[in-house]
With several copies, the nearest count.
Chain A
Amino acid sequence: MIPTDSRGLVLDEPLLFEQSQPGRIGYSLPDTEVPQSAPPADLLRDDITDFPELSEVDVIRHYTRLSTWNYGVDSGFYPLGSCTMKYNPKVNEVAARLPGFAEIHPQTPEALNQGALELMYRLEQALTEVSGFPAISLQPAAGAQGELTGMLMIRAWHEARGSKRTKVIIPDTAHGTNPATASLCGYEVMPVSSTGILGRDAVAAVMSDEVAALMITNPNTLGLFEADIRAICDLVHEQGGLVYCDGANLNALMGISRPGDLGIDVMHFNLHKTFSTPHGGGGPGAGPVGVAEKLIPFLPLPVIIKEGDDYHFDYERPQSIGRVKSFYGHFGILVRAYSYILAMGGNGLKKATELAVLNANYIRARLEGAYALPFKERSLHEVVFSEENLGGGCRTLDVAKRLIDYGFHPPTIYFPLVVAGALMIEPTETESKQTLDDFCDAMLAIAAEAEQDPDKLKQAPTRARRRRLDEVTAARKPRLRWLP
């Protein structure tokens, strides 16, 4: 059923600073216990100008109210393509908060935190089994940092062999982080256009001894398996290049296909996608990388090793690309991902993949026709429609905003760039048929509204906390902070 009459009290809430009252306090601090002292007066700061002063109840109400203006996976269906907005199990949150995990200091001698090291070691092994890569680094903070780490390793591998290649091939369906990462590694980006699936020939046409690597996403951002992947990897390897795989879409492959078996040299995982850790309103994520044998020497610092029954960080790795952040990994996120793997087991992960793909294909079957499907190959975990069939002069943005009025989070829109007005729908496996039916009913209703009453779309959303925003002024005259 489509929630058409939803309505209720949603309370206003000014900024923290607007509520502040001089002298009001929300803190609770212990005694100093030693004589008071202070740094030299010329180093001392005055009050932090305009910093808020609130009571505990002010703070509680502030954030409680703010939260009610948001929409999360726990609120409802969130088919944001490429983001794998699956359910975030609550036991994972408990796990990450166990005092033996949350209250351990990274500078503690390794011998005293063997449980933490063991957990990470086991997680690496599980990722190895799922992906086929013989070695894993849990260090990168998110997918994009995984990409950076991976591409730096590729470059280090080339340099170690005296090879000075300067280019990286990236298909036009790639996520923006791919070209941005290549640039960060000092590479020049060579875009290659694909017609849905990247053909070996298309790669062959641009591959050369100037090319250090191909960055490929598999399944790609159209939700399609790169069927030529083995041939492409062979081709790139034959010509002295390496292959990076953006593993953001691994949710389509668990138990079905292992990137490490296909010739890929390095891939990042998004634990905040495939392995159910929460997105947190933007992060933190975790972006481990898996590498083929040849790249192991280049892994970032440090690397967890097991000697006998003991776990250590290894820092003595002369060929390593070095450190990409402080300490090691987003441990709190790694605990959640490991907890998820324990809950699912090997079979459960495969089943998750199967149902994620089933869900995407079900949506596709129900919506194809009403929405134009630019690529007809069998979809995996997500399906991408275009805005082509929309009536009444409506655009993808209008569909997205109208979905809000129906109580759903919109899909990813206008990405991938190769589709005109892309509507990129990734349901994930944790959504039931009922939810998908409600969503499809809404999508079909919207398609009909576009024909009959396009203003419904163009004025949407009308039931959310806010109507459409003036984003142009926001960018032209940026106000990025509160000022009195």
Chain B
Amino acid sequence: MRYLPHTNTDIQQMLATIGIADKEALFSGIPADCRLSRPIDLPPGLAEVDILAQLQQLAAKNAQVSDWSSFLGGGAYNHFIPAVIDHLVSRSEFYTAYTPYQPEISQGTLQGIFEFQTMICQLTGMDMANASMYDGASACAEAVLLAVRAAKKRNRVLICKTLHPHYRQTIATYCRYLDVELIAVETDNGTTPLEQVEQLLDERVAALVVGYPNYFGCIEPLSELAARVHTVDARLITAVAEPLALALYKSPGELGADIVVGDGQSFGLPLSYGGPGIGFFAVREKDMRLLPGRLVGETRDLDGNRSFVLTLATREQHIRREKATSNICSNQGMCALMVSIYLALHGKQGLRKLADINYARANWLREQISTLDGFALPFSTPVFNEFVVTCREPVADLKKRLEQQQILAGVAIGRDYPGLESGLLVCVTEQNSRKQMEQLLTALAGEK
């Protein structure tokens, strides 16, 4: 076996050094009634060529977005990934390393994360960000926990229904057995109505959680929400599933958010059927010691050279154990690196330009669809690169019909939003050419 370097001679010599007769004796500490008495019932190992052939067969049964016209978004975005990213993250010093516990030989990872933390701050307009969370949904759930912990006696959290359903569900799971009361905030014209928020806000509320853009692709009135939330000293948690929007729209930080979480998949991570994504988590200075997860800080070494190191570890499980701010240990280090490379490559200009393209195309398509017979726009609020249309044709039928033409028309939102059964969430990125959009329009119009 090519991954196992032991020759028979090696094994014999090693057993002799250990002072046992055979490999069996290595397991003498395991009681007989704990032993598996048969071989593992899995097929014998395959040659590399056969592994790839088998996997290729499975891969061929999937609908690659490069072979389809895909207008799917809803928490995972089909953006182009420059070749540079894979080239750089394939450097094994990065991806075969562990969490940088030994800073003297981990400065590459550490400086990379420090830069990631910085760019997340810049994008979100916040003071500090951690080294990553699993994904946007779990980051959002941890943000709720932070807010509740920070607010001490308060245990209510308002969750806007416009927040991505997976985020809402994950929050619910994380809070399941904790003393947290989750209260849903209804929806109006695709965003969160300020009046209802005002009604719900009181001294029991620790935080309000809102998407930006929200699940409908709409831009929520963040600064208005912030103003109201802050009147009761609660925290505004903003969740960003499509962070490219932050290159075009005002940052949550600028608008008054207290915590900004989200998923960085848009920035250079393959769709990969939804995982791994990468959660980000940014806060104001005041919440620094409540942050979950790893943090990299700047310091100096004995020679006075600038260096980076994992810091404020007293927040973390390996030091604080049951009192830790979170149980997270492994995070999404490699994904953070990919995001950083993506952001560095696009830079200030490129990210804005890319956001402009996404905006222009999506809004063009939105307009065009709205002129088609049988389609309407339920919401008038500004959007970024995603929007909801309602269709006269049943959404399931429409989707099926378009699949015949190799088009993935969008995400049906009816299951998550009773009352919006006719709604289709359509996403447009720079990967959807005008030609693709025109084909979509023809196909949509083609209803018999």
Contact = CB atoms under 8 A, between A and B. Distances in A.
Interface stretch (A67-75, A235-243, A388-396, A446-454): A67-75
A44 B250 contact: yes
Contacts of A89: 3, 83
A230 B318 CA distance: 28
B21 interface: no
Query: Quick one: which of A25, A88, A179 has the most chain B CB within 10 A?
Result: A25
A175 B319 CA distance: 10
A119 B102 contact: no
A351 B1 contact: yes
A71 B276 contact: no
Given A34-B434, A345-B42, A467 B272 contact: no
Contacts of A198: none
Task: List 6 tightest A-B contacts by C-beta distance, closest first.
Answer: A100-B59, A282-B333, A327-B274, A27-B350, A106-B274, A280-B334
B247 A91 contact: no
Contacts of A280: 94-95, 97, 332-335, 337
Contact of B17 (A44, A347, A365, A465): A365
Interface stretch (B196-204, B300-308, B371-379): B300-308
Interface stretch (A199-207, A289-297, A475-483): A475-483
Given A30-B49, A176-B319, A180-B324, A328 B275 contact: yes
Nearest to A95: B55
A358 B26 contact: yes
Interface string A26-51: 11111111111111100111011111
B117 A481 contact: yes
Contacts of B128: 480-481
Contact of A99 (B66, B75, B334): B66
Given A113-B273, A331-B276, 7 more contacts: A94-B83, A99-B64, A100-B59, A224-B29, A280-B337, A358-B14, A432-B5
A351 B4 contact: yes
B96 A59 contact: no
Contact of B34 (A39, A257, A346): A257
B426 to A, nearest CB: 11
B253 to A, nearest CB: 11
Given A24-B347, A184-B327, A72 B95 contact: yes
Main secondary structure of the interface of A (DSSP, over half): loop
B2 A475 contact: no
Contacts of B138: 141, 145, 324-325
14 contacts: A21-B9, A24-B5, A72-B93, A98-B56, A115-B58, A280-B335, A281-B109, A283-B331, A325-B135, A325-B275, A326-B166, A331-B272, A401-B104, A480-B298
A332 B275 contact: yes
Interface in B277-309: 277-278, 288, 294-303, 305, 307, 309
Interface stretch (B168-176, B186-194, B225-233): B168-176
A15 B48 contact: no
A2 B298 CA distance: 21
A372 interface: no
A209 to B, nearest CB: 18
B50 interface: yes
A155 B173 CA distance: 12
B195 to A, nearest CB: 21
Given A43-B250, A354-B26, A38 B94 contact: no
A229 to B, nearest CB: 7
A4 B305 CA distance: 12
Interface in B355-383: 356-357, 359-361, 363-364, 382
B52 A29 contact: no
Contact of B102 (A105, A143, A187, A400): A400
A103 B66 contact: yes
Nearest to A182: B322
B39 A116 contact: no
A1 B264 CA distance: 33
Interface stretch (B84-92, B152-160, B439-447): B84-92
A347 B247 contact: no
A278 B87 CA distance: 14
B341 interface: yes
Nearest to A50: B122
A184 B145 CA distance: 9
B309 A471 contact: yes
A377 B28 CA distance: 9
Interface in A146-205: 147-148, 152, 155-156, 175-177, 179-187, 189
A377 B314 CA distance: 33
A108 B340 CA distance: 28
A184 B83 CA distance: 40
Contacts of B117: 480-481
Contacts of B86: 97
Interface in A120-158: 126, 129-130, 141-145, 147-148, 152, 155-156
Contact of B299 (A74, A144, A176, A471): A471
A276 B56 CA distance: 20
B305 A5 contact: yes
B29 A142 contact: no
A287 B336 CA distance: 19
B395 to A, nearest CB: 12
A58 B347 CA distance: 12
Given A101-B59, A257-B35, A34 B364 contact: yes
Contacts of A380: 26-27, 29
A78 B56 contact: no
A399 interface: no
Contacts of A475: 297, 311-314
B94 A72 contact: yes
A279 B9 CA distance: 32
B55 A465 contact: no
Contacts of A104: 62-65, 271-273
Contacts of A378: 26-29
A317 interface: no
Nearest to A145: B134
A136 to B, nearest CB: 14
Given A44-B249, A106-B271, A343-B46, A32 B301 contact: no
A471 B313 CA distance: 10
A329 to B, nearest CB: 6
A461 B170 contact: no
B14 A327 contact: no
Given A33-B434, A39-B248, A284 B134 contact: yes
A129 B40 contact: yes
Query: Quick one: which of B1, B78, B83, B107 has the most chain A CB within 10 A?
Result: B1
A363 to B, nearest CB: 10
Query: Quick one: which of A16, A55, A187, A400 has the most chain B CB within 10 A?
Result: A16
A53 B411 CA distance: 36
A98 B83 CA distance: 13
Interface string A82-118: 0101111111011111111111111111001111101
Query: Quick one: which of B19, B27, B74 has the most chain A CB within 10 A?
Result: B27
B405 interface: no
B353 A115 contact: no
B108 A68 contact: yes
A68 to B, nearest CB: 7
A279 B1 contact: no
Contacts of A325: 134-135, 137-138, 166, 170, 275
A45 B250 contact: yes
A16 B329 contact: no
Given A272-B330, A400-B102, A324 B170 contact: yes
A469 B309 contact: yes
Contact of B326 (A114, A180, A272, A433): A180
A225 B28 CA distance: 10
B4 A176 contact: no
Given A95-B52, A116-B58, A257-B35, A27 B349 contact: yes
A451 B325 CA distance: 41
Contact of B330 (A261, A283, A300): A283
Given A116-B273, A342-B54, A9 B166 contact: no
